[in-house]
A = this chain, B = another copy of it.
Amino acid sequence: MDTTKKTLILFSGDFDKAMAAFIIANGAAASGDDVTIFFTFWGLNVVRKREKVKVGGKSFLQNMFGSMMPRGHDRVGLSKMNFAGMGAPLMKKLMRQQNAMSLEALIDSAREQGVRFVVCTLSMDLLGFKKEEMLDGMEYEGVTSYLGTADEANINLFI
């Protein structure tokens, strides 16, 4: 075990939980830790490209889930007080007023600091997402890879 390694599973696709994950990831990376974020299930929404990418080979249900799940960090909602979609824009406005780092800036900062972004291949296969639909620079691995990385880390959170 190594106290300089951390893993986060981002299962949630909520704006507020993604914020929490990236604040922790950036904080740890700033102290020189190796941080890996595993994006799984709804967490995939956070690393989807904003624009619609035309890809084939999806089933009807995969297309349906794909079109109903938000595309990218800019479109995900709050886990509480979402006010029919108004919660996240209000929260973002509040963040701008307080000069807080945006989720986009936190994601960029994490990448610059070398945080590894790993997308769960099982979720990809199930939901039919293709790599072209995800942000560039993602890695694609399964649960065995997660366990191997987490075994070497001293903080492992499920968010």
Contacts and interface: CB of A to CB of B under 8 A. Distances in A.
Contacts of A147: 24, 27-28, 31, 33, 155
Interface string A118-159: 000010011110000000000000111011001100111111
Interface residues of A, number: 55
A contact face: mostly helix, strand, loop, or mixed = helix
Contact of A157 (B31, B42, B100, B158): B158
Interface of A: 1, 3, 9, 11, 13, 16-17, 19-20, 23-24, 27-28, 30-31, 33, 40-42, 59, 61-62, 64-65, 68-69, 79-81, 90-91, 93-95, 97-98, 100, 122, 125-128, 142-144, 146-147, 150-151, 154-159
